Amino acid sequence: MVEFLINAPRWLLLAALVYAPWAYGCTRPRTVGVLNVLLGLVVALWLAGCIARRKWPKIHRVPLTVTGLLLAQAWWMVLNAKSDYDTTALQYLPLSPWLDWAPGSLHKSLSLPMAIHVSALLGAGCFCCELAGRPSWRKRLLRTIALNGVLLITFGLIQRLTGAQCIFWGPADQGNTFFATYRYHANAGSFINLVWPLAAVFFVLALRKGGNSRRRNFWGLALIVCLAGVFVNASRAANVIALGLAALWLGWFFWKRRREHERRAVKPATLIIISLSLVMVLAGVAAFGGLDTTIRRWGKFNEELSSRNPRLLVAEVCISMLPDAGAWGFGPGAFKTVFPYYTGELGDEISGVWEFAHDDYLQTLVEWGLGGGALWAIYLLGAMVYPCLLMARNPMRLNSVERLNVFAVWTTLLGLLVHAGMDYPLQVASIQLHAVVLLGVLWSCGSWMAKVHPLGRLKKRLREIEPGSAATRTRTSPFGDDQGWRN
């Protein structure tokens, strides 16, 4: 029974990672509900396993504390809600809050499902902080995201190649810029930029000396498919971010090669052949798969450079809402119904229903306030800074494979955070789940660090081994795994 409680939440989390992007990206209430159930089971089984083993979960203090504070804010805003919104009468109906002077949500019926969803997500994030400390499961998490993402991107390319008018199993009103299972092209582009850096990690590892040729060919093809998907997809922001991340990867590769003088790295001739093959295949697939759509969208860029651009107007309105939002905001999920009350002066310049602000940071400040926004910033940006500080203080306590993993996850999240300032990827449940898992990987990196210097461990190990013993005839890694020995 204890083994079941230990392993079940781990495999359920992998199942949730596979399910989320295929269920229309979990952009529909029903699919979000299923995801919440899966993540709720993950958290419940994990905590039950901890109780059965009589062990406290191993979680970094910062994400654990921030998670507790964010959940307290979300549920307090629901329980102390000041009003609810009547969609038929199009007006707010006052409620009886526990404390009139304390903050509370203005739209209780929207804040309640958001509080449930945030609880499931942040609970899964805490679980990942512990799970990612195990090398085998850390590798499974990253590989699952990469493999599932490659399959989804391949599905999107097939749609483009066949000239599909909608998602194969979806309704006909999907618009002209859908990709794979995402109706909105920017969300698809953000997801692709979450995937391809992880595929690049496995490709780089396969290129190392002694790597399996099948694995090398598979991940090379997977990386080409992912990059083709970026440019076939019509999201201009995703195109620019992918180019920026690719430049960052190339800069890191050549800096690492120059600094460490790694002769075991890819030979120049091999690198040239790979680069030419990548460009040729990428150009062919992209042109045949819908690059013309992307080019047409870029052709309209100059027309949209105006101070009266609807997105810029929405950003101005959100900024004007911040003083009223205060320290704790209007309530999680309340943006949709609060926003129209601040757009009266704009008339018809902003048309339609704006469910999202197309700027995750401004929307977060409107819904969660300055206090809640600061907590989210600590959770996200803290995870980005934490491994950098660790590696700066302990540069020799991670082997090259783990450093590569940290770099890949770091660049993946960097691309997501940049995109969040132009669109709303962090409002999409499937992307939220992937972000939380990757943040958990970064928050867990303190457990990857060796407690002593690797050379010290090696010398100690060699002193303990007697000449002629069985231990000297094996190639057991002094770092505890084969990767440490090879690197």
Encoded amino acid at 128, one letter: C
CB atoms within 10 A of CB 154: 17
DSSP bridge pairs for 91: 86
CB 128 within 8 A of CB 58: no
Q: Rounded CA gap, 196 and 246, in Å? A: 10
Residues 6+ apart with CB under 8 A from 320: 342
Token pair of 387 as six digits: 């491994």
Please tell me the predicted confidence (pLDDT) of residue 214.
86
Per-residue pLDDT tens listing for the chain (487 residues): 778 888 999 999 999 999 999 999 999 999 999 999 999 999 999 999 999 888 888 899 999 999 999 999 999 999 999 999 887 777 888 999 999 999 999 999 999 999 999 999 999 999 999 999 899 999 999 999 999 999 999 999 888 888 777 787 776 666 677 888 998 889 999 999 999 999 999 988 887 766 678 888 899 889 888 888 888 887 888 888 998 998 898 888 777 766 655 445 555 655 665 666 666 656 655 555 555 555 555 555 555 555 567 888 889 999 999 999 999 999 999 999 999 889 877 777 777 678 899 899 999 999 999 999 999 999 999 999 999 888 887 766 677 788 889 999 999 999 999 999 989 999 999 999 999 999 999 999 888 765 444 555 555 455 555 455 444 444 443 334 444 333 3
Token pair of 421 as six digits: 């300032």
Which sequence spans correspond to the domains of the chain? 154-305, 454-486
Q: Rounded CA gap, 182 and 132, in Å? A: 28
pLDDT tens digit string along 236-272?
A: 888 889 989 988 988 887 777 666 554 455 556 556 6
pLDDT tens digit string along 436-459?
A: 999 999 999 888 765 444 555 555
pLDDT tens digit string along 12-25?
A: 999 999 999 999 99
Q: CA-CA distances (angstroms) from residue 324 to 48, 111, 112, 181?
A: 42, 18, 21, 37
DSSP 233-297: S--HHHHHHHHHHHHHHHHHHHHHHHHH--TTS--HHHHHHHHHHHHHHHHHHHHHHTHHHHHHH
Q: CA-CA distances (angstroms) from residue 73 to 198, 374, 480?
A: 34, 12, 42
Task: Report CA 298 to chain centroid distance, whole Å.
Answer: 26
Average confidence score pLDDT of the chain:
83
pLDDT tens digit string along 49-97?
A: 999 888 888 899 999 999 999 999 999 999 999 999 887 777 888 999 9
Percent of the chain beyond pLDDT 90?
48
Q: Rounded CA gap, 349 and 309, in Å? A: 9
| Whole-structure pTM value | 0.86
